[in-house]
């Protein structure tokens, strides 16, 4: 059944059953994932998913019905939602949004991606593996993969909202291991985009291989406080561990140290943090959130000063402000929660090389481990195994491993001396340039 036909039937039935207002949220998507190993297909997985959520206000309570089948009986779905509303005891205020007057135009769908065959994606994965294998005799390819996906969202309600959006993307990833003199180092490189022509399989492979080889013959260093540059993609991953502290719902529940910090200095004046759902080519670019609120770019931290939290409709109502358009659903079955879009630290104007030139003794961190277990998202404390390079007299001198870096994320934000110009996003659309920190505790020998 066409989803709009189902919508009309649901809304008519809901009106007859006495619902005050109602909404349908429909989502569908498909994905293909292929990985190769030693010139052969290791995994090939193609899948489709989707379904809808009907929800409606009945006697002040919100009732829900979920289904993967758009051909279900609309009256039965509405009756189930009504029964659900009648037994609800939690009285949290629920919202069905009337929509905005205007929605931004964003380009998140590339029709040309749909013309790329599965065979072409397989060949790309094979090419990535081959380039890596041929790069150096010390290299073994652990994994080469190409994945693609598309997603369609349609939201409509009886309050006047009706929006839809289709998005697609493609991803390539390679993981390699370099071995020499009994030492092994594993490194990977990822590419995400919506234009296959901008993917360079050879460059992707060579980047991963260079990372792994450059880390060979590493040694530890003495413990102590050190000047440090943390590489862009690594600081983006660290930043991601603490993004939930910027969610208004966590602030309101007491799960964030940023409570009552609006208008205060929480980072050095070199740090500006932005959430930009309208970024061209962004991994999380969208015209509206999961509640139908129009997207807009917002500055969360400006020159170190906290300007706003990220809000959905419910948390915005608690604080008496407007939603920032950050209410999202993980799937059609999920409840609305808060999530960022393209969330990043704004780049500065100095290159990493320029910063290194002025460091007499320090460390360049380009890998960490233990983010899930070694970082406390509420307190900000972290202790992470790390690797990188020693900096001496303005030069990278040798690789370093078997060290741990420790500190507090909020203190690190205050101690950032320089934000570099090399911004990079991870696969979760969290971005950061490399950052130079005046002092960080390093545990080594």
- Are 290 and 195 in the same domain? no
- Two tokens, residue 191: 């590419």
Task: Tell me the C-alpha distance between 248 and 254, whole Å.
Answer: 10
Q: Same structural domain for residues 176 and 318?
A: no
The label of the residue with tokens 């100095």 reads 350
Task: Looking at the structure, tell me whether residues 287 and 433 fall in a common domain.
Answer: yes
Task: Give the integer Cα–Cα distance in Å for 443 and 143.
Answer: 32
Indicate if 193 and 227 belong to the same structural domain: no
The number of angstroms, rounded, from the C-alpha of 148 to the middle of its chain's C-alpha atoms is 16
Task: Write down the residue that tokens 């289709």 correspond to.
Answer: 166
Q: Are 167 and 235 contained in the same domain?
A: no
- Which of 165, 192, 209 terminates a domain? The answer is 209
Q: What is the CB-side half-sphere exposure of residue 260 using CA atoms within 13 A?
A: 1
**For residues 282 and 258, what is the distance between their CA atoms, to the nearest angstrom?**
27
Q: Is the same domain home to 279 and 324?
A: yes
Name the pTM for this structure.
0.95
Q: Are 177 and 215 in contact (CB under 8 A)?
A: no
Q: Among 163, 162, 156, which residue's Cα sits nearest to residue 56?
A: 156
241, 249, 246: which is closest to 261 by C-alpha? 246
Q: Count Cβ neighbours within 10 Å for each residue of 315-345 and write b for 16 or more, e otherwise.
A: bbeeeeeebbbbbbbeebeeebbbbbbbbbb
Query: What is the pLDDT tens value at each position of the chain, 445 positions in all?
Result: 799 999 999 999 999 999 999 999 999 999 999 999 999 999 999 999 999 999 999 998 999 999 999 899 999 999 999 999 998 777 678 889 999 999 999 999 999 999 999 999 999 999 999 999 999 999 999 999 999 999 999 999 999 999 999 999 999 999 999 999 999 999 999 999 998 899 999 999 999 999 999 999 999 999 999 999 999 999 999 999 999 999 999 999 999 999 999 999 999 999 999 999 999 999 999 999 999 999 999 999 999 999 999 999 999 999 999 999 999 999 999 999 999 999 999 999 999 999 999 999 999 999 999 998 999 999 999 999 999 999 999 999 999 999 999 999 999 999 999 999 999 999 999 999 999 999 999 998 7
Which of the listed residues 166, 186, 209 is the one where a domain comes to its end?
209
Q: At what angle do helices 118-135 and 201-214 cross, to 10 degrees?
A: 40
Judgement on whether residues 157 and 39 belong to the same structural domain of the protein: yes
Do residue 195 and residue 257 come from a single domain?
no
Task: List Cβ neighbours of 372 (8 Å cut-off, separation of 6 or more).
Answer: none
Q: What is the DSSP string of 163-229?
A: EEEEEEEEEEEEEEEEEETTEEEEEEEEEEES-GGG--HHHHHHHHHHHHHHTSS-B----EEEEEE
DSSP lists the bridge partners of residue 164 as 154
Is residue 120 domain-shared with residue 19, that is, in the same domain?
yes
Q: Domain residues for 405? A: 218-445
Asked if 147 and 255 sit in the same domain, the reply is no
Rounded to whole angstroms, how far apart are CA atoms 123 and 196? 13
Q: Are residues 169 and 284 in the same domain?
A: no
222 and 101 within one domain: no
Q: Could you say which of 152, 179, 209 is where a domain stops?
A: 209
Instruction: Count up the domains in the chain and report the number.
Output: 2
Three-state DSSP state, 136: coil
- Tokens 């073994």 — which residue? 140
Coil, strand or helix at 336 = coil
Q: Domain of 107: which CATH number?
A: 3.30.2290.10
């Amino acid at each position: 059944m066409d989803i709009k036909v189902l919508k009309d039937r649901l809304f008519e039935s809901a009106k007859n059953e006495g619902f005050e207002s109602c909404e349908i949220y429909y989502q569908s998507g498909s994905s293909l994932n292929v990985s190769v190993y030693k010139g052969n297909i290791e995994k090939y997985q193609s899948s489709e998913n989707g379904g809808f959520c009907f929800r409606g206000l009945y006697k002040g309570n919100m009732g829900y019905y979920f289904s993967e089948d758009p051909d279900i009986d609309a009256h039965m779905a509405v009756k189930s939602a009504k029964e659900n509303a009648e037994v609800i005891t939690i009285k949290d205020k629920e919202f069905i949004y009337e929509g905005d007057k205007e929605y931004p135009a964003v380009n998140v769908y590339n029709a040309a991606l749909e013309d790329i065959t599965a065979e072409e994606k397989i060949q790309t994965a094979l090419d990535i593996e081959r380039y890596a294998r041929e790069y150096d005799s010390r290299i073994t390819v652990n994994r080469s993969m190409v994945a693609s996906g598309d997603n369609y969202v349609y939201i409509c309600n009886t309050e006047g909202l009706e929006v839809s959006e289709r998005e697609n993307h493609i991803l390539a990833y390679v993981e390699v291991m370099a071995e020499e003199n009994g030492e092994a180092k594993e490194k990977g490189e990822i590419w995400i985009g919506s234009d296959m022509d901008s993917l360079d399989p050879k460059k992707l492979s060579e980047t991963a291989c260079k990372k792994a080889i450059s880390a060979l013959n590493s040694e530890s260093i003495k413990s102590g406080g050190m000047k440090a540059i943390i590489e862009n993609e690594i600081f983006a991953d660290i930043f991601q561990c603490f993004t939930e502290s910027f969610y208004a719902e966590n602030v309101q529940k007491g799960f964030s140290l940023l409570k009552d910090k609006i208008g205060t200095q929480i980072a050095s004046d070199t740090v500006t943090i932005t959430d930009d759902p309208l970024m061209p080519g962004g991994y999380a670019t969208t015209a509206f959130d999961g509640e139908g609120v129009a997207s807009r770019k917002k500055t969360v931290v400006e020159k170190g000063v906290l300007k706003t939290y990220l809000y959905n409709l419910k948390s915005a109502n608690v604080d008496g402000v407007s939603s920032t358009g950050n209410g999202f659903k993980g799937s059609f079955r999920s409840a609305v929660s808060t999530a960022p879009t393209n969330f990043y630290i704004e780049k500065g104007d100095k290159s990493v090389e320029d910063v290194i030139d002025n460091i007499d003794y320090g460390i360049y961190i380009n890998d960490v481990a233990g983010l899930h277990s070694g970082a406390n998202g509420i307190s900000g404390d972290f202790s992470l195994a790390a690797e990188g390079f020693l900096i001496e007299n303005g030069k990278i001198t040798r690789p370093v491993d078997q060290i741990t870096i420790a500190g507090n994320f909020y203190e690190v934000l205050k101690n950032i001396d320089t934000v570099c110009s090399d911004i990079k996003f991870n696969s979760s659309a969290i971005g950061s340039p490399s950052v130079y920190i005046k002092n960080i505790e390093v545990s080594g020998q």
